[in-house]
Amino acid sequence: MMSFPQRPLLAALAAAGLLSACALLGDREAQPESAAATPATPAQAQAFLAEYDAQAREIAREAAQAAWVQATYITPDTQALAAKAYERYLAWNSEQALAARRYEGLPLDAASARQLRLLRLSNGVPTDAEQLRELTVLGSRLEAAYGSGRYCPDGEDSCRDLGDLEEVIDHSRDPDALREAWLGWRTVSPPMREDYGRFVELQNVGARELGFADAGEYWRARYDMPADAFADEVERLWAQVEPLYEALHCEVRAQLNEHYGDAVAPATGPIPAHLLGNMWSQQWSNIYPLVAPYPQAQAPDVTSALVAQDYSAEQMVRQAEGFYTDLGMRALPESFYRKSMLVKPRDRDVVCHASAWDIDFAGDVRIKMCIKPDADNLSTIYHELGHIYYDLAYNKQPVIFQSGAHDGFHEAIGDTMVLSMTPDYLASVGLMPAGGRPTEQAVINTQMQMALDKIAFLPFGLLVDKWRWKVFSGEIDAQSYNQGWWDLRQTYQGIAPPVPRSELHFDAGAKYHIPGNTPYMRYFLAHILQFQFYAAMCDAAGYEGPLHQCSFAGSEEAGAKMWALLEAGQSRPWPETLALLTGSPQMDAAAVIRYFQPLLDWLEPRNRARQCGW
C-alpha cells in the first residue's frame, strides 16, 4: 500500500527540497554583513545548532497542531490558521538554512557536521527575491491546476473530476469508456506545461547556488552518496527485480489479450496503458479478476472475522499495537488513543485519508483514519503504526535527525510488518480458522494479488524521478517532455498510450507528484526495502522455510534489531543504519525474488511458449 503520512515538518521540507510558501519572500538578510564577515568558531556552531533545535520544536509543533485541526475539522477558518502557521515555520526555516552556511568547513564532530549539512540541503531555492517569488507563484499555480482539474467534454454540465474518472478506470471493462476516461484526465495537464518548464529553470538556479549541477543532482545528493552513484544504485536494484516484472507483464498481457482481443490488447509489445485498472498504470490490482490464476480458490476472509467479532476501530488499532509490543516495543502513550481520530465524526468534514502524525518530536503521536472493519483497513493500521513507532523510537534525537534514514525507510517499516500478517499469524489472533495452511492454489492467488500491487509498481516508482532528473539536466528538453516520458514508460514498464501522443500534450503532469514537486524515488526504495527488512527480521526470529510463510510476530530478537534501526533516525548515513538490521550496508532486492518464488515458478511454464518482453 502507499500512504502519504504527515511526517515531521522538518523532514517533509528536506524531502521536497523546495520551501514553496510565499513567506519565503521575507527577510533574506538575517545576518548583518559584519557578523557574516567575522570568522565563526566551532563553539558558535554548537550554540547555533542547540538554539535551532529548541526553536524548531516549538515552531514546528505550532504548525503541526494547526495542520491537525485543519485535517480533522475542515472549515475556511482552520484552513487559514493552518496556512499562516505553516508560513511562519517556512520563513523561519529558510532563515536558519541560510544562517547554517556560516559554519561550513569548521572542525566539528560528525553529528554536528551532519546536522548542518542536512539543514543546508533543506533549502534548495533561489536566493534572489524576484526569482523566489516567481518560483512560489508557479508552484502554487501548478498544484492548483492539478487539484482543480476537470474533464468537460460537453460543457460545464458534463464535467468530471479525477475521482469520477478513476472510478471508470478502476472498475470498467469497456475499452471505449476506459480510453475516454484516460484521455479525459490528460486534458488537465497541457496548460501546466509552460509553467512547469519555468519552474524547472528556477529550481536549477537554487540547486546551482548550493554547488550542484542541477536540481536532479541536488535531489540525489540527499542519499549519503555521490549523486551519480545513487543513480547507478537504483539501476542495480531494478536489474534484480526486472525478470520478475517481465514475467508478470507477460502473463497479464496474455490475459488481457484473451479478454479484449487483438484489436484492443495486442498479444505482443507494450500493454495499452488504459487497460491496467489504474489511471497511471502504476498498480494493477483492480484487474485481478481478469488475471486470477485460480478463480475458485478461496482466499482468507479477514473482513468477515472482524465483522462477526464486532471489532471496533479502537480494538483494531490495539490489535495492531499488540503486534508491535509483542516484538518488545513499548506501548503507545495514553495520549495516542485520546488524541487520534479513529472514526469519521458525524458533525463535521474531515480528511479521511489515513495518515500518521508526530506533533511535537517528543511523544505526541497520532493517526488519522476513518476506520472500517475490513481487511484493508486492518493492514493500513499496521502500516501507519510503523510510522508512529519510528517517530517514537527516534524522538530522543535532535529534531533534524527525526526522520527516516533516507526517505524510503519510513514507508517501508509498516509494510514490513504487514508482510508478517500471514495466515498463521492471523489465526493466532483469532482472525482466521486455526490449523491448516492455504492450498497451493490459494498461495498463488495471494501472490498474484500482491504482485499486481508491489511488483507492477516498481518500474513506475523508478521512472517518475528518472524523467525529472533528465528534465533537470536538460537531457529531456522542454520541447520533448512527452516523448521523454513515454520513452521511459515503454522502456521500464512496457506500456504505451492508447492513442498517439505529441508535444501538444504533457502526460507527466497528469500525475500529482510532477506539478506537486514531490520526490517519488522513496516509493521505489520502500518497495525494495520492506522485503529486505522482512527477510532480516525472519532471520533474527530464527525462521527457516519459504520466505512468504514467515511471521516474525512475537520475536523480541527481531524487534530489537528493528528498534536499533528505528531509534537511529537520520543521525548517520543510511548504509550504517541499514546494517543495524540486515548486517549489510547495501540495499538488496534478492528478498523480493525469494518472497515471490512460488509465483515465479508458476509463471515460468506458462510464459515458456509466449513472446515475452516488448
Residues tagged active-site? 384, 513
Return d(Cα 596, Cα 436) in angstroms, integer: 21
Strand, coil or helix: 340: coil
CB 186 within 8 A of CB 177: no
| Strand partners of residue 357 | 6, 366
Contact predicate 5/415, CB 8 Å: no
CA dist., res. 317 & res. 381, Å (int): 6
DSSP string, 282-320: S--GGGHHHH-S-TTSPPP-HHHHHHHTT--HHHHHHHH
Strand pairing category for 365-368 and 495-496 = unpaired
Closest CA to 403 of 516, 532, 581, 568: 568
Q: And the C-alpha cell for 282?
A: 502504476
Kind plus residue range of the DSSP H or E element containing 479: none
Q: How far is CA 191 from the centre of its chain?
A: 26
Distance CA 208, CA 213 (A): 6
Nearest alpha carbon to residue 150 among 141, 164, 160: 160
Q: Which cell goes with 602?
A: 508458476
Q: Rounded to whole angstroms, how far apart are CA atoms 164 and 170? A: 10
State how far Cα 420 lies from the chain centre. Answer: 20
User: What sections of 73-161 are H helices per DSSP?
Assistant: 76-100, 110-120, 129-147
Residue with cell 517501508: 412
Q: Which DSSP helix (H) or strand (E) runs through 161?
A: strand 160-161
> Cα–Cα distance between 451 and 603 in angstroms, integer?
12
Distance CA 240, CA 65 (A): 43
Distance CA 92, CA 55 (A): 9
Alpha carbon separation from 333 to 98, 109, 173, 388, 559 (Å, rounded): 37, 34, 47, 11, 19
